[in-house]
Amino acid sequence: MQIFPRSSGDLIKIASSLSLAVANYKPVPMVPNGNDLVVNASLPSASNSGANRFQTVAGSSNVTSSNSSLAASGFNVSEWGVPSTLNFDTSAASPLNMAVQSTIGPGNCPIQTTYTPIGGWEALPPPLFAPFDPVRANIMRYRQQQGVNLGSWFAQENWMEWSLFSCSIDGKAGELDLLGGWGKTPNGVANATAFLEKHWDTWIREDDFAKLAAIGINTVRIPVGHWSIGPFYALNSRFEPWADVYQFSWRYVARAINWAAKYDIGVILDMHGAYGSQNGQSHSGISDGSTDFFTEANMKRTADVLIWITNEIADVTNVVGIQLLNEPQDRAELWPWYNRTMDAMRNATSYAATIPLYFHDAFKLEKGAKFVANRTDFVVQDHHSYYVYTPSDIALSAKAHIRTISGRISDWMSGQSDVARRNLIVGEWSCALAENSKDQSTDPEGDQRKFCEAQRDVYATTSAGWTFWSYKMENCDKNAGWCFQSAVNKYLPRTFDSWGLGTVAPLLYNASSVEAKLASTNMLAALRDIQLPASALQLFRTDNATTDQDIANGIATTFESDDQSGPRLPTSSTITTSTSTAKPIVTPKALVARPFIGKVMTPDTDSKDASSSSSPSSNNFDAVPNHALQMRGSGSLGARAAALVARDRAQSRKRAAVQTSLVNKSGYSDGFMSAKIFAASIGLSRIGFTEQYIADSWAARVASGKIDDGFSKADVNAYKRQFRAGLKDAEGAIMQAVQTTLATTTAPSGR
């Protein structure tokens, strides 16, 4: 589908719209067919391929398409360019391209035996999640994200695992085509069930989550289809004949969430395939190009399944977001549906009031940012970015891509991120470049690495995080541009963190290294030892402040505390405390960083609000004793009345001054201590959704009675400015503490 007119010849201008603003489809494989390339064709088996390996060539002018979805959506190679460049090893043995004795269904699929999960059915219990921990949930939901998509696990895509589609029919691209190969008979459905259950059980395992955590990945985005939620949500759709296939699919999804929780990884559950398809693309489950989501019935059905999901997992600690749709077409019906569905999801359960709700912006960055700005709740815009599709992408050299990303695209994203109060992530991106872009380089591998690093840097600094597409695929080692497992330590660093310190992850997660354990211990102790600056201690009352041990355990001060300056994380209710009994860790003082931190920002002096008045007359008037006021008013009734009015005004100014002082103190302390809590909790976390966190912190203070209801706009702005000042000072101290620890420890280094 074409989004923008393609009349402009300015390649840089087109590139500045992040490519998929003008080409909204994921990569599809191209395979040779004589002298042509066939887009999204049936992938060859070892028996009928003339070569054991082939490489698709981007930029070929000789391309045909056997996929009706591309034709139906207006695909034109001369206008859009070649979709992707992938490498396939056709000699790789697969259960589906081996000769078999018995087959079933229109696709002649091999007969399957009933599948039993690894470890038996006790390893796949009904969905059960740990009790909700609001403090831990807040840290995971508001922190900066560095993540990866777990694609083609619960929503199948043929270009990522082509052997899975070897007996599929029709377009041979979407999950519906895969099911169709087995047929609709009871026996065919039973065989398809065994086949997909094996895939769900084995494509990604718990060990994968452990590996991701070990290199600093803190978020995964898990694509699902409406059918993945269970048989009921396959009814009234084209998946209905195979509804029984999904009897246990939600158990596998729930197990994935629990595996992620075990390693402190947050989960964004993404509705990749809506009822009727929101985009006509194969990754939404179909391959014929139909886009029937935008009917009243299918929009309601999709909203219903999202409400069910919200009710099921809004109180799961490590669920950091529920995404309403993936890459929908930008139609007039979309945006009102987003608002209605979000409101309905918020009312699904009491926990739903604070769960982040993600939405894809239909490749319209500005429109998505405005949507966020028009809501005050925790909603997050997801934008996708690829650079291999359009003629402009193909024409640009790798170096030109790097310059554009680091320049105009960075500025563009930064501006729109401000509009969206930084509630923005890049939920899909890759290191892939068109062959023509690399052919113009004297160092293709080096330039591709710089291209990838430029993207990651821009997305990390202009948004609240990113998730790479995708974690794994067949022939991963030959497709590092798309496959995270191969891209790490090639185009991507070997470790990740939110602070730009590549050596941090090994120190925090390398449990087998004595040096790493010591460094981690010292680092956390150093973080706990960071204190409010002396200038703040003189102004802030800290008699009931949160202790270092509380911070080490990730505990925020409860609202019942009399302390006005203690750290507190925003929740919709009183925050509970951790049950951890960990003992304080003692560290040599030589490893503890106590950097000098600048002075606390003074209250605003340019506000028109009376609370910020600093004129000599007002200060002198406040100092006049009451009896003097009475004597001045003794000459007449009018004079006495004027004196009473003046006294009331003086008292009002005094109350306002107290409120302003409290606001400034609270803001600075909240910012400083929140940064410290995040850093000392869950793998050196860092606040990412900063403006949302500040707004929710203020709302929590007001709701708890810590701030008077009669606050002014100037009070709100002052709190926000002071929060940012405290946050900045604390993050500077944290960086110094970490660097001091790193300087005294030898550990594996990351690029």
pLDDT tens-digit readout, 9-35: 333 333 333 333 333 445 554 433 333
Beta strand pairing call for 53-55 and 36-39: unpaired
Which run of H or E residues covers position 110? Answer: strand 109-110
The CA-CA-CA angle for residues 723, 534, 555, to 5°, reads: 55
At residue 153, does pLDDT exceed 90? yes
pLDDT at 88: 56
pLDDT at 636: 62
Q: Predicted confidence band at 656 (pLDDT cuts at 50, 70, 90)?
A: low
pLDDT at 523: 86
At residue 606, does pLDDT exceed 80? no
Gap between the terminal Cα atoms of the chain: 39
pLDDT at 516: 73
Which run of H or E residues covers position 536? Answer: helix 534-539
Q: Where are the alpha helices (DSSP H) in 18-133?
A: 68-72, 77-80
Per-residue pLDDT reduced to its tens digit, 33-59: 333 333 443 333 333 333 333 333 333
- Rounded to whole angstroms, the Cα distance separating 364 from 4 reads 10
Q: Which residue has the tokens 């087959």?
A: 103
At residue 105, does pLDDT exceed 60? yes
- Rounded to whole angstroms, the Cα distance separating 513 from 520 reads 10
Task: Provide long-range contacts, Cβ within 8 A and 24+ apart, for 505-509.
Answer: 505/214, 505/215, 505/216, 505/683, 505/750, 506/214, 506/747, 506/748, 506/749, 506/750, 507/741, 507/742, 507/745, 507/747, 508/216, 508/683, 508/684, 509/213, 509/214, 509/215, 509/216, 509/683
Please, what is the angle between helix 186-202 and helix 249-262, to 10°? 0
Per-residue pLDDT reduced to its tens digit, 495-523: 999 998 876 766 666 656 677 777 788 88
According to DSSP, the residues that pair with 379 across neighbouring strands are 357
Residues 714-724: what's their mean pLDDT? 93
At residue 4, does pLDDT exceed 60? no
pLDDT at 733: 96
pLDDT at 657: 54
Cβ neighbour number for residue 574 with a 10 Å cutoff: 11
Which range, of 520-524, 595-599, 702-706, averages the lowest pLDDT?
A: 595-599
Whose CA is closest to 741, among 684, 687, 686, 677?
A: 684
Of the two residues 73 and 266, the one the predictor is more confident about is 266
Rg of the chain over CA atoms, in angstroms? 29
Which run of H or E residues covers position 225? Answer: strand 219-225
At residue 197, does pLDDT exceed 80? yes
- Rounded to whole angstroms, the Cα distance separating 41 from 28 reads 9
pLDDT at 566: 38
At residue 276, does pLDDT exceed 80? yes
pLDDT at 110: 97
Q: Where are the alpha helices (DSSP H) in 158-269?
A: 175-182, 186-202, 206-214, 249-262
DSSP 270: E
Q: Where are the alpha helices (DSSP H) in 19-174?
A: 68-72, 77-80, 134-142
Which range, of 8-12, 237-241, 360-364, 726-730, averages the lowest pLDDT?
A: 8-12
DSSP track, 683-707: TT--B-SHHHHHHHHHHHHHHTTSS
Per-residue pLDDT reduced to its tens digit, 235-256: 999 999 999 999 999 999 999 9
Per-residue pLDDT reduced to its tens digit, 61-83: 333 333 444 444 444 544 444 55
- Rounded to whole angstroms, the Cα distance separating 710 from 491 reads 54
- Rounded to whole angstroms, the Cα distance separating 99 from 31 reads 22
DSSP track, 419-485: HTTT-EEEEEE-----HHHHHT-SSHHHHHHHHHHHHHHHHHHHSSEEEES-S--TTGGG-TTT-HH
pLDDT at 653: 53
Contact call for residues 456 and 445 (beta carbons, < 8 A): no
Give the C-alpha distances (Å, rounded to integers) separating 510 from 215, 520, 747. 9, 9, 10
Percent of the chain's residues with pLDDT above 70: 68
Which range, of 67-71, 132-136, 245-249, 607-611, averages the lowest pLDDT?
A: 607-611
pLDDT at 242: 99
At residue 417, does pLDDT exceed 70? yes
Give the pair of three-digit tokens for residue 128. Answer: 């059960």
Q: Predicted confidence band at 683 (pLDDT cuts at 50, 70, 90)?
A: confident
**Is residue 470 reached through a cis peptide bond, with omega within 30 degrees of 0 on the bond before it?**
yes
pLDDT at 89: 56
Exposed/middle/buried for residue 440 (C-beta within 10 Å: 0-12, 13-18, 19+) = middle
Q: Predicted confidence band at 746 (pLDDT cuts at 50, 70, 90)?
A: low
Sorted by sequence, the CB contacts under 8 Å of residue 161 that are 6+ apart come out as 152, 203, 473, 474
Whose CA is closest to 567, among 577, 576, 555?
A: 555
Which part of the chain has CATH 3.20.20.80?
Answer: 143-386+399-431+452-505
In degrees to the nearest 10, what's the CA dihedral of 497, 498, 503, 509? Answer: -50
Superfamily of domain 143-386+399-431+452-505 in CATH is: Glycosidases (3.20.20.80)
pLDDT at 556: 35
Contact call for residues 150 and 220 (beta carbons, < 8 A): yes
- Rounded to whole angstroms, the Cα distance separating 524 from 490 reads 30
DSSP 108: T
pLDDT at 570: 36
